[in-house]
Amino acid sequence: MASHERIPKWKGLAVLSSDALSSVAYATEEILIPLALVGVAALAYSVPISLAIVILIAIVTLSYRQTIEAYPGGSGAYFVVKENLGVRAGLVAGAALLIDYTLTVAVSVAAGVENIASAVPFFQAHKEAMGAIIILMIMFFNLRGVRESASIFALPTYLFILSFLILIAVGIWKLATGAAVPEAPLIHETYPVIPTILLLRAFSSGCAALSGIEAISDGVSLFRPPMQKNAKITLVWMAVILSTLFLGITSLSHIYGVIPHEHETAVSVLGRKIFGESFFYYVLQGSTAMILILAANTAYSDFPRLSSFLAKDRFLPRQLASLGDRLVFSNGILGLSLAAAFLIFIFKGDTHHLIPLYAVGVFLSFTLSQAGMVRHHLRKREKGWVGSIFFNLTGAMTTFVVLVVIASTKFAAGAWMVILLIPIFVIIFMRINAHYLEVGKQLSLIGQEAPPRLEPIKHTVIVPISGIHRGVIDALRYALSISNDVRACYVEIDPETTERVKAEWKKWAREIPFVVLKSPYRSVIAPLLDYIDDVEQTTHDEMLTVVIPEFVTAKWWQQVLHNQTAFLIRAALMFRRRKVVTSVRYHLKGT
């Protein structure tokens, strides 16, 4: 990237923090839901749980500051883990990230729709359709190659931050002036006794607040010089803003007695309690929806880019490494959109069902990335490595403990799907890689002796026909140009029709052998394949070519009106060795 295209810290915060900051919109609610199962009194635990999550945010932030220092070019977890812990560990991180990016789109869009539906109840019954439409719109803009500028990112991000800060400030001011009566104290002398498993479940649900926190360490190269310093400062800004908003919203939700509703988000309930049905309530909901959709859009650069890296390393199909005509990874964008839309419909656009799947991949990539950094410091032993290894080791151990908690408490709620999918993805990656290596081995000319000169292959050409027309004549002429042994074959379905074709053949192509293939069961493909096998055994040629006469209609819909025998022949011969299938097309004029 040219130096004049690099961005300052305030724009970097907008571009790279939307995913993390947007999690404030649903993380508090995810804490409240399991606590509410016990009773209103149990909601008192939401504040200490949010404090524990804020401490976790600080630990992860300090850990990723070390990653920024060690990898100034900006490297994702896949590269860090692959370089330091090996290829298979890197593939685990890659699988977790692909799942994470897909869920980022699904969760962010679902949460955005829920916030819109909270303000406009009409959309409650159409959440899946609305989510799918938003995903299609994001996909369209990304396929068109519309690259968002940092300035465009800044507006919804800072509007979101400002609206939430105003929400918190007005909420505190109303409590301080007596304009609002608190329904619960911030600090309780005693807390109700509830099952530990529910506390852990609430904590693991709230850990969704950490999603996207690693984005700044991946995008160090976007910042103006000194890149590392600016990236680390921006990371701290993001962590402070995230912690402030998250702790503020959770605390006010408890004080104002916010209880999760099926058809309204916790942020919406809190906004109504503080602002009523005023204009600013709708500004709050609109800014929340915007940043959530913006967070979904960030995955459209991360998912295709990671897919392309895996494809270049031959762990995914090569098509994912190819840039489209708009210089975007079109195949990755399409795949991400289909997967996210599928999740929206399967889970009915409900974030509460999607969140349990979300956190496993997030914390698995955190743990592997930080463990990779520990290995990096042990290998390099650069200046200050002792302090750096302390932060990364603390981060790795903490996120691993959280990962275990999330996997165990959310296992039955859906985390088992991700736990099962990750090793399946790794196996698929390895099988794809093994295939590409075997293909390269079989196609390689290394160790082969070069021939004195390339000799043409002697081959027989078979032209299957269904009658005599201009397209058949063109195909026969082409066949004669590539071989001295051309044979036409006709599958007999009706003896009377066969006699007419024979008569036409003597008039138009009597110099080419004409073979009639009997078909007692009225099959076209089976007799043709048997004939091809007989010719191959008789001639012992190195190659056998099948030239298929086809005509192409002027309009696409007219093609449906004709049989697809040519397609069936190509499909039947696709996996047969030493068979070449060529289509000679005759284009019809418009009618």
Q: Which amino acid is at 135?
A: I
Provide φ and ψ at 563, rounded to 5°.
-70, 160
CA distance 22 to 460: 66
Q: Of 96, 164, 46, 122, whose CA–CA distance to 421 is shortest?
A: 96
Specify the CATH class of 459-587 in words. alpha beta
Confidence bin at 151 (pLDDT 50/70/90): low
Residue 169, pLDDT above cutoff 70 = yes
Asked whether this chain's domains 3-435 and 459-587 adopt the same fold, the reply is: no
pLDDT digits (tens, 9 = 90+) for 42-81: 888 999 999 999 999 999 999 888 888 888 765 678 888 9
Whether 422 and 99 have beta carbons less than 8 Å apart is answered as yes
Mean pLDDT of 432-459: 79
pLDDT digits (tens, 9 = 90+) for 153-168: 678 889 999 999 999 9
Distances (CA, A) of 392 to 210, 211, 371: 16, 18, 7
Mean pLDDT of 476-494: 92
Every domain of the chain and the residues it spans: 3-435, 459-587
Name the CA dihedral angle for 223, 226, 231, 237, rounded to a multiple of 10 degrees.
Answer: -110
CA distance 572 to 575: 7
Whether 124 and 263 have beta carbons less than 8 Å apart is answered as yes
Whether 425 and 98 have beta carbons less than 8 Å apart is answered as yes
Distances (CA, A) of 123 to 132, 220, 271, 412: 13, 39, 19, 30
pLDDT at residue 583, as a whole number:
92
Q: Of 43, 44, 25, whose CA–CA distance to 265 is shortest?
A: 25
pLDDT at residue 472, as a whole number:
92
Question: By three-state DSSP, how is residue 492 classified?
Answer: strand
Give Cα 568 to chain centroid, integer Å: 34
Q: Please provide the average confidence, as pLDDT, over all residues in the chain.
A: 86
pLDDT digits (tens, 9 = 90+) for 191-211: 888 888 888 888 988 888 888
Other CB atoms within a 10 A radius of the CB of residue 504 amount to: 14
CA distance 7 to 15: 9
Length of the chain: 591
> Which helix (H) or strand (E) covers residue 106, if one does?
helix 87-119
pLDDT at residue 2, as a whole number:
44
Name the pTM for this structure.
Answer: 0.78
Give Cα 20 to chain centroid, integer Å: 18
Percent of the chain beyond pLDDT 90? 34
Confidence bin at 326 (pLDDT 50/70/90): low
Mean pLDDT of 210-221: 81
* Contact residues for 263 (Cβ-Cβ < 8 A; gap 6+): 117, 118, 121, 124
Q: What is the fold, at CATH topology level, of the domain defined by 3-435?
A: Amino acid/polyamine transporter I (1.20.1740)
Token pair 């109700």 is at which residue? 192
